C-alpha cells in the first residue's frame, strides 16, 4: 500500500484517496477552435512514462482537497 501525504491531513493510507490522472495539463486557450482530433487528444491522451510522474490525487475520505504528487511509476515511491 502507498502512504500518501495530504498537505492538510498528513500521511494517510492510499485507500483514503482517489487518483485524478496526470497533473499539470494545460487547458486549451480556445477550446472552440480545436478540431475533433485535437480535442480528443486533450481529453484522452496522457503520458505513460516509466519513472517519475506528476499526478493529481484527492483526499476523498478526508478533507477532499486536490493536490499534486510526484510518484515513481515502477517503484511507487512518492517524493515529498
| CATH architecture of the region 3-79 | 2-Layer Sandwich (3.30)
12/56 Cα distance (integer angstroms): 16
pTM: 0.84
What residues pair up with 22 in beta bridges, in sequence order?
A: 55
The residue extents of the domains of the chain are 3-79
Q: What is the pLDDT of residues 18-73, one digit of tens each?
A: 999 999 999 999 999 999 999 999 999 999 999 999 999 999 999 999 999 999 99
Q: Does 80 score more than 90 pLDDT?
A: no
Please enumerate, as own/partner, the contacts of 21-26 that have beta carbons within 8 Å and a separation of 24 or more. 21/46, 21/55, 21/56, 22/46, 22/47, 22/53, 22/54, 22/55, 22/56, 23/54, 23/55, 23/56, 23/68, 23/69, 24/54, 24/68
Amino acid at each position: 500500500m502507498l502512504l500518501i501525504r495530504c498537505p492538510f491531513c498528513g500521511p494517510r493510507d492510499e485507500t483514503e484517496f482517489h487518483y485524478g490522472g496526470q497533473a499539470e495539463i494545460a487547458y486549451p486557450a480556445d477550446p472552440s477552435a480545436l478540431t475533433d482530433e485535437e480535442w480528443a487528444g486533450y481529453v484522452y491522451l496522457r503520458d505513460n512514462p516509466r519513472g517519475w510522474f506528476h499526478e493529481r490525487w484527492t483526499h476523498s475520505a478526508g478533507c477532499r482537497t486536490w493536490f499534486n504528487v510526484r510518484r515513481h511509476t515502477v517503484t511507487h515511491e512518492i517524493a515529498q
